Structure 1
Amino acid sequence: MLHLDALNSPAAEIILSLSIMLLAGFLATRLTQKLRLPNVTGYILAGIAVGPYVLGLVPGSVIDGMDFVTDIALAFIAFGVGRYFKLEKLKETGAKVIVITLLEALAAFGAVTAAMLLVFRLPLPFCLLLGAISSATAPASTIMTIRQYRAKGPFVNLIVQIVALDDAVALVAFSMCSAMVSAVDGAGAVRPMTLLAPLLWSAAAVLGGVLAGLLLHALVDGSRSREHRLVLVIAVLLAITGLCAIVDISPLLACMAVGTAYINAGGRKLTFEEVSDATPPILLIFFVLSGARLQVPMLATAGLIGVCYFFVRILGKYLGAWAGCAVCRTQASTRRWLGLALVPQAGVSIGLAALAERILPGPEGLMVSTIILSSGVLYEMVGPACAKAALFLSGTVRKQPSEEEKPEEAAGEDSGYPKAS
């Protein structure tokens, strides 16, 4: 078998590796679609297959040299999340969605952090970052299930609003925890200036993101062609991401601020859809790279911890959603079954795991990445079944759709949430 690292041309090695990752991701989705699993699951499995621990088609040197792909992919993801912070929509939904989202996200964060700290006696930085990542939810599986069964009603509206805000809570929680982790020295003492600096830089990045979003609105919304709109949006996001890299902070909050400022300034939803249509190859490479980075030998070491994380996060999400619904006095059926629709996890969580791997020292960082990647595959497999159970048990859906019905025509599209990939 020809190994790319045997080539004498670094450029050829990188280009062929990119081709292999794209083709592997595409071929894997042919299988996952037949199994009715999300594309993300196929991408991760493809990465594991072409990575150094299975087929070894993509050299480790190429994988190690593509960290920038993580930042770029997260920039696009965060920009899309910012779309859902439109003030008009937030005022319409009132405090109910915010309360439920905060409680379910923070309950998962607290449960996972406590379990890792008290049961496994793991270092506090590890526990905090893993807990922050656990608060994220991947909406694609849930949204696809809603469309498939043509689900409508208050329960469905509540789900799509929560999953839209959920990742934003995770981004903020992770940014705060990463700043705290960076402020602790090797002896466990807190260095106030080290804690303050990342927070100040993050605040400055958010302000810069808001200004960039307003500038983007002025530049993009006019007589620009689709191609020029894409060029301007991508240029702004890359500029923000690069500036964040200079001061060694995550671009997540800044790029989310760009999207938030743009939509609230009167920006068009079409711009977000155009960016979403242009980024699948980047996101595919990002997820395949994440799978290729999975330390397969560490699965044995992380086994019990990973199993604990898998179930404790689900428990935290369920209890947090139940408590939020109880506080907001929702219907009993909503209170009982909302948590089941919040099980899937991928996308943002995988990006945050890649950032955590940079922040934590060697084995701990690899452990976080291993836990999130392996559990992410499981979450994306059981997520659709959990979402389906939530829809049926809550009484939102009472019968199976006929064979003639097309999933993409299903209800829920008027909620404003993007089509699931």
Structure 2
Amino acid sequence: MGREFIGPSMLRQMRGRAGRQGKAPIGETYLCCRENDLEQVVELMNAELPPVASCLNTENRRIQRALLEVISIRLATSHESILDYFSKSLLNHTQNAKFVNDCITSSLEEIESMGFVTRDSLSMFTATQLGKAIVASAIDPDDGVFVHNELSRALQAFVMDGEMHVLYTFTPVQEFGVMVNWQVFRNEMEGLDESGLRVLRLLGIKPTTILKLAQGATLRETTPEEKQIARVHRRFYLALQLRDLCNEVPIHIVARKYDVPRGMVQNLSQTCQGFAAGMIKFCEQMSWGVMAAALDHFSDRLVAGARADLLALAKIPFIKSRTARVFWENGFRTVGTIANADPAELLPVLMQAQPNKIRLKGKDNEKYEEKLLVKAKVISDAASKIWSESSFHLSDLTALPDTYTLKGLQMQSELEEE
């Protein structure tokens, strides 16, 4: 995946998806590779599956995450009940008892020192507000410290007149093994507007440092502080990619522009939505309601992968990003116009939105058009359903008190425009 070979387990998983259940008794898979990689690929195909191992044994923070979860939901709150809980884990059955006990004890001390849990006079553990926020947002404890510091700083000065600060906040903090092309970073930095430059300053990214790195200098990562600064730089580099994705730039163009594997950009586009939802949950759990509302307002663009003017269209099935833009450019700019259109009118638009590589003739082209016509009917029906629901919601608003009149008038205006 990306620059690395997949493992035997992932290969078996992919092979297991071959064929169609109930349609054929077998399924065929083809593994394509370059000639230079043939020997390694043959070894991969013949490799034995690795034995099943506990994920808690891979990294200590996995145990910290598991401990934080059971304490947060009050499943186990004393040292004895925690040991009893982990006695039923795979880790306990593959490692000796002393190793498991030492891991649990040290992990409890670490999450307590980081302020995720507290211990009372009876040695009972309780999750703090920060600990509960980390559990709710589904991030690792180490990442939780980083996220908390970043959001705390954003609360003091959040840049609202641009999109870069929100996109940076929505950029996953997990390490994707990204290698920053500092010359590309410099070029993108020089193209930022005043709002984007303010985000750089608030994050502690210095333009002079970027210029030096683009000329061949090395970003130091020896001390914990330097590692944190480097992490911010890499995360902002990913945020620049996320910005382009939200502005409807295709994945392959983003990958080429930022000199990263296409799979890595695709992974970013898929994981950012879940991470964004986690950040909203984090803010809500920390009682940062204003921040949560600001982030939630922008999250629809991540799902749609498009600019704000296409958000309404992107709610319709089969209409995402590029297809939505084609509909917009052809005059179908609202859900209402698509709902009121005949499916046959939508067919040329769908044909236009298809990849250029599709070239069919004769009967194949007729069959393809028939499939697109079925798709157009699904789009039309879905748009009609969305349109009806919005109209029904508007009729409900008319029965509400006068305090809701303004909101009702705003919705009425939008519907009339459509």
TM-score bin, normalised by smaller chain: under 0.3
> So what's the TM-score if we normalise by structure 1?
0.24
Relative contact order (alpha carbons < 8 A, sep ≥ 6): 1 or 2 greater?
1
Which structure is larger by alpha-carbon Rg, 1 or 2?
2
TM-score of the superposed pair, with normalisation by structure 2: 0.24
